[in-house]
A and B are shown apart, each in its own frame.
Chain A
Amino acid sequence: MSELHKEIKKMIIDCLDLEDIDVEDINDDSPLFVEGLGLDSIDALEIGLMLQKKYGIKLESDSEATRQYFASVNSLVALVSSNRVN
């Protein structure tokens, strides 16, 4: 697990105030929503806000691209690191 993976998982847990879940419980590539972590649409909004606040990433709500970024921790990591390079 890279530092960024860890950072993003921690961000998800803190920002959503999740209980009974540790960084180690979140798989890099399993789905964040519905199955896997079991997050819902309101959590997606929260994570979107957090990405904007912490990394300055603005996402269009409800676009196909956004949906793909939110698929797993891996895809969020890819999003954040590509934005860092730019």
Chain B
Amino acid sequence: MGDTGRLTALSNWMTVPAEHPVACQVAETVTALDFKHRVKEWVDFLSTQEGSRWAVYHDDSVEFLAIVFALWQLGKTACVPGDNLPSTVERLKNCVAGYIGHFPAGLVLEDTPYVEQKSVAGVSWAVVERDYPALEIYTSGSTGEPKPIIKTLAQLELEIETLEAQWPSRQNCLILSTVSHQHFYGMIFRLLWPLSVGQPFLRFSCEYIEDVFYAAQSHASYALISSPSHLARIKTVVDWHKLKGECCYVISSAAPLSLEDSINTAVSLKTCVREIYGSSETGAIAWRAQNELGVDALWQALPKVRVSASPEGALVVSAPYLASSAAMTLSDLVELSPNKKFKLNGRIDKIVKVEGKRVSLVAIERLLQKSDWIKAVKALVLNRKRIETAVVVLLTELGERHFQTIGKKVFINSLREQLLDHFELVVIPRRWRFVEQMPYNPQGKLPMGVLEKLFDKQLVKWPTIENSEIAPSSVVLKCYVPTDLMYFDGHFDDFPILPGVVQTYWAEKFGRDMLSVDGCFKRLEAVKFVSIIHPDSRFSLTLEYNKVKKVLLFKYESESELSSSGRICFE
């Protein structure tokens, strides 16, 4: 692809004129010259580093792009995760040479003051190879571990070319966004497409929809790249009619936008709302704009995208910017109409096996959803002592009230009974989590990892205190030792006993909490472990604190027999 009209190919982008706008930051414009300086800094730095794959995470879109462009200049791969959480950093550990940007110990380069900027006039920029794996992104992980997706510049350029053919860009229209560029949708719509056509983008994300309002105030025309979670709030927060600037268009993707929210957004911003259907794997596939209440508009395939249905009724797509020339079957059910239009009829049922029995999680969800106690529900499979199903439930107000009145056990039981009419006992959810909000991430997805976390066992670290007598400098605690105390694990398998180190740790902790013991632990004195403390037993713990000497005496006794005693000295 060469220059077609105002469109500059990403692979040859470094040749754009110096005054070409890139981004805005409040009232300042970042020009191509500023941007190229930054790319040069990163090229100089990264060319001294070994390794061809680098993880990139940066809040500032300009800096993010400069890093990515520098990597491309050097023929390296930018691995762009959706977040910079510790688990993500850990997951990438073995597949990248290092981390650039906002990671713990990520590489960053100081901003060079303008006067010290080296001239980029004489730099001979590389035309980037279009067919090597330039970008690696990751699936959202809503169906399990995030999986890598490779993109070449040819794929990115072809997708941008398709979008530009469908919706020719408007000069000087500032791109505002509530979605992160760390995800593919944001990266294309908010950064790479605007960059290719010289349409400036706002340097930072608008975290709240209110931020969009303030950012748009100083501009004559703007466009908004957003998602349903933000657009759902558009009507309630600010008076959009006070904005003088013109909103050229709104784009929504990442999750289904409700018909009502779509119309509300269109009315509030006096513009058209284009919903995009696609995925990180496929890129943008189809679009629609709602125009009347009560009638869901059909999806329309983008130019050069072909749609069909598989024998099972799933949507099959082919597009020039897919990784392979073969058509790809997606997991949404489709109903085709003439002229490349179609209707989506929900996800293809995900059949899972629970202890050998096949069950559809969607069917469990659908049945529970029928209850007027339940507003939203997500079913999942947990692999613990056995394979079992579990559900995360958001209650309606009515459900909330019943829950309070009849209690959790009875409440769950009556929902279980409704399921029993339709499902075998083995596949009925065993674990129920009632949440105040479904844990959607900023991209509007429910990541499996977050859902699974809701079912993590709370580690039992403390005895159950059944009675306590607290005096100014001493305390007597009557305690029960739970069998599932974490310290019994492996200590020992056939003969669990409470370790001595845990006894001193508890004594210190309760001393600090109840007797205002302070200072640093110095040493243990006269420690005796006389008899063993077993699981499912009771003991009394006596603590005495000598504030002057800073010494805490502890004594564990079970049924008048001494278990252990000693002194902890502080300084």
Contact = CB atoms under 8 A, between A and B. Distances in A.
Interface residues of A, number: 16
Interface residues of B, number: 17
Contact of B484 (A14, A20, A25, A39): A14
Interface in B405-437: 408-409, 412, 416, 424-426, 428, 430-432
Contacts of B428: 38
Contact of A41 (B384, B416, B426): B426
A42 interface: yes
A34 interface: yes
Given A17-B385, A19-B431, A20-B432, A42 B426 contact: yes
Interface string A40-69: 111000100000000000000000000000
Contact of A19 (B426, B430, B483, B484): B430
A85 interface: no
A14 B416 contact: no
B408 A40 contact: no
Nearest to B427: A40
Contacts of A41: 426
Contacts of A40: 424-426
B355 A21 contact: no
Given A20-B408, A20-B409, A20-B412, A38 B431 contact: no
Contacts, number: 30
A16 interface: yes
A14 B355 CA distance: 20
B425 A34 contact: yes
Contact of B386 (A20, A21, A38, A42): A42
B45 to A, nearest CB: 52
A64 to B, nearest CB: 21
B84 to A, nearest CB: 34
A39 B355 CA distance: 14
Given A14-B483, A14-B484, A42-B355, A21 B426 contact: no
Contacts of B425: 34, 38-40
Nearest to A34: B425
Contacts of A20: 408-409, 412, 432
Contacts of A38: 416, 425, 428
Contacts of B483: 10, 14
Nearest to A17: B385
14 contacts: A10-B483, A14-B484, A16-B385, A17-B384, A18-B430, A19-B432, A20-B432, A21-B409, A34-B425, A38-B416, A38-B425, A40-B426, A46-B385, A46-B386
Given A16-B385, A19-B430, A38-B425, 11 more contacts: A10-B483, A14-B483, A20-B409, A20-B412, A21-B409, A34-B425, A38-B416, A40-B424, A40-B425, A41-B426, A46-B385
